[in-house]
Amino acid sequence: MIAPAATIASIYRYPVKGLTPESLTEVALQAGQTLRGDRAYAIENGPSGFDPANPVWKAKTHYLMLMRNERLAALRTRLDDATHTLSISAGGVEVARGDLGSAQGRAAIEAFFVAGFADELKGPPKLLVGAGYSFSDVARKVVSIINLSSVAALEQVVGRPIHPLRFRANLYVSGWPAWHEFDLLGQTLAIGDARLKIVKRIVRCAAINVDPDTAARDLEIPATLQRSYGHADCGVYAEVIDGGRIAAGDAVEVEEARLL
């Protein structure tokens, strides 16, 4: 069976968990790693016991995140890799700025959340980072992939447009038939020199009910998936097994299994 032609439509990373995505034209993937800088920071919502010197994966409920804190989507943030400076804007006006590499800079960002999210905090917010650690929703170091045709099929069920960035994926793929990604579990994708093995379907939570432009919790997508398809899955996780540079527009090919 000939696999359908597909390409990378867009690439995103999310420097701070729950905050603004960053569009990338290309990225260098490393074996066994997430996208560089993806979910590199998180805002602790009350004491979690996270140890930056010995980071151990913890559930997303320990952090500010869209599943419960939809007002995060109304913020526009930008992280400058060179200076480690995070800027936060609301309504087109910068409301906070801080160098995340310094105690003073982190305190400035934390102060913003103390003032603006007081009713949603379980304790003092703390800007967390761990060397090489990713505050992903899963413990494995993975790259998340969304099939844009699956989003289009879901739009037909819901009866209204669905912004693909609700799903906060790293790679958005065009050209596959709807839900084709689920048929690829255990298979390897070739994108440029990189190879990624599809390892898991993504079970969706209430975070995708939040519109990334308006911050309104205006859909019930997991429930709709469950009613319509008998599951709440959309998208897949992949592990990078061979590193390489990939770019928007690159072909996505399913490798044939090698005969031993």
> Domain residue spans in the chain?
7-34+138-254, 41-129
Contact 14, 77 (CB under 8 A): no
Span 95-100, mean pLDDT? Answer: 98
Span 205-222, mean pLDDT? Answer: 97
Span 115-128, mean pLDDT? Answer: 96
Token duo for residue 156:
């037909």
Average confidence score pLDDT of the chain: 96
For the segment 133-183, what is each residue's pLDDT rounded down to a tens digit?
999 999 999 999 999 999 999 999 999 999 999 999 999 999 999 999 999
Instruction: Please say if the pLDDT value at position 61 is more than 90.
Output: yes
Band (3; pLDDT cuts 50, 70, 90): low
pLDDT of residue 79: 97
Please tell me the pTM assigned to this model. 0.95
Instruction: Please say if the pLDDT value at position 5 is more than 50.
Output: yes
Name the 3-class secondary structure at 12. Answer: strand
Instruction: Please say if the pLDDT value at position 254 is more than 50.
Output: yes
| CATH number 2.40.33.20 given to 7-34+138-254 | yes
For the segment 17-34, what is each residue's pLDDT rounded down to a tens digit?
999 999 999 999 999 999
DSSP per residue, 40-92: -EEEEES-----TTS-----GGGB--TTT-GGGGGEEEEEETTTTEEEEEETT
